[in-house]
Amino acid sequence: MKAPAFDYTKPASLDEVFGLLAAHGDGARLLAGGQTLLATLNMRLSEPSMLIDLGGIAALQGISVQGDGQGQGQGQGQVLRIGALVTHSEIEASALVAQHAPLLALAAPHIAHRAIRNLGTWGGSIAYADPAAEWPACLAALEGVVVVRGANGERRIAAHDFFIDLYTTALAAGEVVTACELPLRQPADVFVFDELARRHGDYAIVGLALAARRGGGGGGGGGDGMQRVRLAFLGVGSTPLRAVRTEAALEGRALSSAVLDAAMITLAAELNPMPDLTNSAATKRHLACVLTRRALATALSM
Ligand SMILES: Cc1cc2nc3c(=O)[nH]c(=O)nc-3n(C[C@H](O)[C@H](O)[C@H](O)COP(=O)(O)OP(=O)(O)OC[C@H]3O[C@@H](n4cnc5c(N)ncnc54)[C@H](O)[C@@H]3O)c2cc1C
């Protein structure tokens, strides 16, 4: 099928974007990498009258460390800022990401295929809020912040409050995702990303972004315990899903096999996965437990 006819414009500033969004209302759509939007147009799932191409707006580009660094400890008070137009491939190749938010570098190769990663953007993925996508789950695990801007100014929204429901976010009409801010990796932090997909590049059946800080459980940084355990699943719920009860069950504990067995019982009870066309809720729950056990073992070996 072919896309319906639409007008196209490529503004050079966010103020122009806000004016266009106000003028065209529901008939307007923001275009970033086009890797989701153009497919929905071609399938006539969406028929906007005006596409507003964000590609000319320099303020949405770039990966940088920002902040005053005045807090206590290394990198406290500073964040890694990822502009909305940064592509999946740029994140994959970024030295700053590898240093400060290595979870993203681990997750990036799981997103689609190279051609799509070269065009698809961070902001497009966050705004689209597909619960099976990698970036929203990483943002949830890292407890990042989404920066949005509209004609009335800027808002910072915690990941937990941004993803509301299936493809539904806290973004208001007339607002644009401009960037996200992620805490900088601390020395004892460990990250694991894994997913189960039918073929490499397919959306995951179930995936897991794990962030934790080694220590506790008698570990003192080198032991067998974890603190600040964050388990964010993709492909399980209507949004990226944090398993907060299981996180609490693991907090500060030495990860003996008895503790892990108990945590898996908690996880199975906590998750109520949405089935998809080929996988039942029970299959997804089982796969989520398998991934979590594996990811915790990997984190402990780091
Ligand atoms: C074959 C195929 C396989 C794929 N597999 C995966 C996968 O495994 N994992 C995965 O995560 N993704 C996958 N994708 C999607 C891909 O990652 C997209 O790049 C991403 O979902 C959207 O990014 P985009 O820049 O292309 O956004 P676009 O398609 O341009 O826009 C998507 C939506 O977000 C809105 N939008 C875009 N930017 C902003 C902004 N800054 N502020 C507010 N709204 C905005 C648009 O209006 C639109 O509604 C796949 C895509 C294809 C075609």
Question: Ligand 1 centre from 294 Cα, in Å?
Answer: 29
**Which residue puts its alpha carbon closest to atom 40 of ligand 1?**
177
Is the pLDDT confidence value at 149 over 90? yes
Position 189 scores a pLDDT of: 97
Claim: this prediction has a pTM higher than 0.75: yes
Position 13 scores a pLDDT of: 98
Domains and CATH numbers, the chain: 7-53 (3.30.43.10), 62-183 (3.30.465.10), 189-300 (3.30.390.50)
The model's pLDDT over 113-148, given as tens digits with 9 standing for 90+, comes to 999 999 999 999 999 999 999 999 999 999 999 999
What is the overall mean pLDDT for the chain? 93
Question: Ligand 1 centre from 289 Cα, in Å?
Answer: 28
Phi, psi values for residue 262, rounded to 5°: -65, -40
Q: Whole-angstrom distance between the N-terminal and C-terminal Cα of the chain?
A: 49
The model's pLDDT over 19-75, given as tens digits with 9 standing for 90+, comes to 999 999 999 999 999 999 999 999 988 889 999 999 999 999 999 999 975 555 556
**Which residue puts its alpha carbon closest to atom 48 of ligand 1?**
37
Model confidence band, residue 4 (pLDDT cutoffs 50, 70, 90): confident
Is the pLDDT confidence value at 270 over 80? yes
Map 235-293 to HEC letters: CCCCCCEECHHHHHHHCCCECCHHHHHHHHHHHHHHCCCCCCCCCCHHHHHHHHHHHHH
Say if ligand 1 is within 6 A of residue 32 CB.
Answer: yes
Is the pLDDT confidence value at 286 over 70? yes
